[in-house]
Structure 1
C-alpha cells in the first residue's frame, strides 16, 4: 500500500460505534425512578417505627387499635332510675275479673307469703270485670310505672301494666284475667326480682383496626 501512512503488524485499529444518546437517557430515568421508589419506601418505614400510625389513630377515634374503651358519660345522659321498692313496702289490691271464684283470696295469700302487703281483696270493678283476657292487669299511679309495677310484675310475668293519672294513693292493683293460672314459681320470681334490682352493666366497645 502506498502513501504517506503505512499499517504494519497484524493488529488493526477498531472503529467505535457512535454512542446512543437514547439509551443513556433511558438509564438515567430508570435510575431516578428506582431512587424515588426506594426513598418513598424508606420514609414509610420510618413513619411506621416512629409513631406515624398513632398520629392517624389520634386523628380518628382517639384510641389505639385493639384497645377496649368505655364511653364516658355525657352531660345529657339519662339519669339513673329510682331505687326499686321492696315488696314489703308495696300494698297490693287483688281483684278477680274472671268467673272463677276464690282466685283473689288464693292469690292474695300467696303474695302475702312473698312479702307484699295486701289491701282490698274481691271482685274487679265493672270497668274491668270479665274484660281482662290475658293473665292479668297491673294498675297503679303514674309514679308506680318504674317502681312498684315492675316489682309486682315479677310475680306475674306477661301481665299488662297501666297507670291511671287520676289515681290517688300509692297502692297498686293486680286484676286477675281469664288467662290466669297461677303466680310465677317463687324461685323464678325471686330470681327475676334480683335481676331487676341489679341490672347488667352496659357492654364495652372494642375498637378495631
Structure 2
C-alpha cells in the first residue's frame, strides 16, 4: 500500500451548466429594473398631479366669507328695480351691500354684467365672480377693497348657492394638496 499525499488533479466537469443561473440572474435584474421604473414613473405622475393641483388652487377664486366683501350694486340695464332685487339676493347670501343705484359711470356694459374693483379688491372680485360667472371684470384705480357689481342687459340671475359651493369644493381640496 502506498500512501501518497498528492491528490489527483481536478478535471473540469464537462456537464456543468452555466445557462440556468445566468437566466435566473437576468430575470431577477429585469424584475428589479421594472420595479424601479414603476416607482420613478409613479413619483413623476404624483409630482405632476400635485403641480396641477397647486396651479388650479392658485388660479381659482379665493374662498372668502361673504360678510367680508362689500358690494355696490348698480343697474346698467333697462330693467327697473333689478339692482334692488340683486342686492337683496346678495344680502341674503351674506354679502355687505353698501349702495344700490343706477350705474353712475359712462362705461358701456354688455352681457350679463361687469365686476369693477381696485387692486385691493381683486380677491373679493374673483370671489364675487363665482356668483355671476358670465360677468366681465374691470380693474380701476380705486384705493379700497369695495367691489361694484354692475347688472348688464343680458342678466338672468345669480348662480345658485349649490353651484357656487360645488365650484369651491374642488378648490379647497386642491389647496389642501399643495
- Indicate whether the TM-score tops 0.5: yes
Deviation at 1:39, TM superposition (A): 6.0
Deviation at 1:85, TM superposition (A): 2.3
1:150 aligns with 2:129: no
Q: 1: distance between equivalents of 2:159 and 2:120?
A: 25
Map 1:32-51 onto structure 2 (within 5 A): 43-49=22-28, 51=29
Residue in structure 1 matched with residue 109 of structure 2 by the alignment = 132
Please point out which of 58, 66, 69 is paired with 1:87: 66
Q: 1: distance between equivalents of 2:38 and 2:157?
A: 54
Deviation at 1:137, TM superposition (A): 0.5
Q: 1: distance between equivalents of 2:98 and 2:169?
A: 27
Root-mean-square deviation over aligned CA pairs = 3.6
Q: 2: distance between equivalents of 1:39 and 1:125?
A: 93
Please point out which of 159, 162, 168 is paired with 1:187: 162
Confirm or deny: 8 A CA contact 1:94 1:104 kept in the other structure.
yes
Please point out which of 159, 165, 172 is paired with 1:198: 172
Q: 2: distance between equivalents of 1:44 and 1:162?
A: 70
Aligned length: 155
Deviation at 1:133, TM superposition (A): 1.6
Deviation at 1:135, TM superposition (A): 0.4
Q: Residue by residue, what CA displacement relative to the aligned partner does 1:100-154 show, whole Å, maximum 9, x if unpaired?
A: 21111111111001100001211112332xx212101111122433x21222112
Confirm or deny: 8 A CA contact 1:133 1:179 kept in the other structure.
yes
Confirm or deny: 8 A CA contact 2:72 2:147 kept in the other structure.
yes
Unaligned 5+ segments in structure 1 are 1-37, 204-209
Deviation at 1:55, TM superposition (A): 4.6
Q: TM-score when scaled to structure 2?
A: 0.68
Confirm or deny: 8 A CA contact 1:95 1:175 kept in the other structure.
yes
Deviation at 1:168, TM superposition (A): 1.4
1:172 aligns with 2:147: yes
Q: TM-score when scaled to structure 1?
A: 0.59
Confirm or deny: 8 A CA contact 1:54 1:64 kept in the other structure.
no
Instruction: Determine which structure has the larger helix proportion and give its number.
Output: 2
Deviation at 1:96, TM superposition (A): 0.7
> How has the CA–CA distance of structure 1 residues 201 and 42 changed in structure 2, closer, same or farther, with 3 Å as cutoff?
farther
Deviation at 1:43, TM superposition (A): 2.9
